[in-house]
Amino acid sequence: MQRIDVEIARGTEVEVRFRITGDSSRLRVPPLRESRRTDELWRHTCCELFIGSMDAAGYYEFNLAPSREWAAYAFTDYRAGMGQVAIAAPTIEVAQDASALMLTAKIDVSLPFLSDKWRVAVACVIEQIDGAMSYWALKHPAGRPDFHHASGFILEL
């Protein structure tokens, strides 16, 4: 894949749109399923959204798969205190053509401990049909990709 574009709109829900552009025939995309909570979505093609308050170490992680499966977690600090978040299932829409995969999700964000000012990170895990994996983010820390690292939370909403 050559490019990933993301748009985010914030209200009582967050609407996030991922557009993965390139030869989408090389992208391994799981078949569409009923929307359901599923762990370990990051092991295959998956879009991710991280939201934290500007004044707190904790944050939320949302995994959104093109299968329409999803996951939502809360962390008390960097990779610490992980627990599932009780939210309504996000609405996930998926479209694919020869040059792009598009995933749009609406997520209820009436979550405890989330202030008015957010720090946000967006990321994607891309799996090719040959099994090769790539990890995309607005910013990675030095070394291995780490979507949870504070340096990736570079958007403010």
Token pair listed for 91: 């609405």
Domain 3-156 annotated CATH 2.60.40.1190: yes
Q: Residues, the chain, total?
A: 157
Q: How many CB atoms lie within 10 A of CB 112?
A: 7
b/e per residue 25-50 (b: at least 16 CB within 10 A): eebebbeeeeeeeeeebbebbbbbbb
pTM for the full model? 0.93
Token pair listed for 61: 């992680």
Q: What pLDDT was estimated at residue 75?
A: 96
What residue spans define the domains of the chain? 3-156
Q: What pLDDT was estimated at residue 119?
A: 93
Query: Where residue 60 falls among pLDDT bands split at 50, 70, 90?
Result: very high
Token pair listed for 34: 């009923």
Query: Where residue 92 falls among pLDDT bands split at 50, 70, 90?
Result: very high
Paired strand residues for 4: 20
Question: What letter would DSSP give residue 76?
Answer: S
Give the separation between CA 11 and CA 54, rounded to whole angstroms.
17
Query: Where residue 1 falls among pLDDT bands split at 50, 70, 90?
Result: low
Of all residues in the chain, the percent with pLDDT exceeding 90 is 73
Query: Is the Cα dihedral 78, 80, 86, 89 positive or negative?
Result: positive
Paired strand residues for 124: 47, 136
Let me know: does 100 contact 21? Beta carbons within 8 Å. Answer: yes
Q: What pLDDT was estimated at residue 123?
A: 96
